[in-house]
């Protein structure tokens, strides 16, 4: 697993409500909140990101730790993503194929 600090330059806007992340057992979600190493619940926040020089927005989501639900930000409101990190992990599936997964996390997402 590798972790990199990420500088999201460009335009970032809210595109939905924060959603609590839940633990999985097998291939089904449970009612138990997923937490970080410190035991703080994680929320997934959907955003639209337009990198500098890009013609259009890309859908992204950011995982944010928060003891209570993060502030609900109206859609298309500009936001600031603080402390962004990209985590990349390789794994092997049941068929023996190597796969790649990535997650974007941040310390916080606030109105810009």
| Residue ranges of domains in the chain | 2-111
What per-residue confidence (pLDDT) applies to 44? 97
Residue 1 pLDDT greater than 90, yes or no = no
Instruction: Tell how strand 19-20 and strand 42-51 pair up.
Output: antiparallel
CATH of the domain spanning 2-111, picked from 3.40.50, 2.40.50, 2.60.40, 1.25.40: 2.40.50
Burial (CB < 10 A; 0-12, 13-18, 19+), residue 111, is exposed
pLDDT tens track for 92-101: 998 999 999 9
Residue tagged 């057992």 (tokens): 25
What per-residue confidence (pLDDT) applies to 90? 93
DSSP-assigned letter for residue 35: B
CA distances from 56 to 21, 48, 52, 59, 76 (A): 28, 9, 10, 10, 14
Q: Which band of pLDDT confidence, cut at 50, 70 and 90, is reported for residue 73?
A: very high
pLDDT tens track for 19-66: 999 999 988 999 999 999 999 999 999 999 999 999 999 999 999 999
What per-residue confidence (pLDDT) applies to 55? 95
pLDDT tens track for 3-15: 999 999 999 999 9
The answer to whether 9 and 81 are in contact (CB under 8 A) is: no
């Amino acid at each position: 697993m590798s972790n990199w600090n990420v500088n999201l330059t460009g335009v970032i806007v809210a595109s939905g409500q924060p959603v609590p992340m839940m633990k999985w057992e097998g291939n089904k979600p449970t009612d138990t909140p997923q937490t970080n190493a410190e035991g703080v619940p994680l929320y997934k926040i959907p955003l639209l990101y337009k990198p500098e020089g890009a013609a259009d927005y890309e859908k992204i989501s950011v995982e944010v730790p928060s003891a209570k639900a993060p502030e609900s930000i109206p859609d298309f409101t500009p936001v600031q993503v603080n402390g962004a990190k990209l985590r990349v992990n390789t794994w092997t599936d049941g068929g023996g194929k190597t796969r790649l997964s990535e997650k974007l996390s941040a310390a916080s997402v606030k109105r810009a």
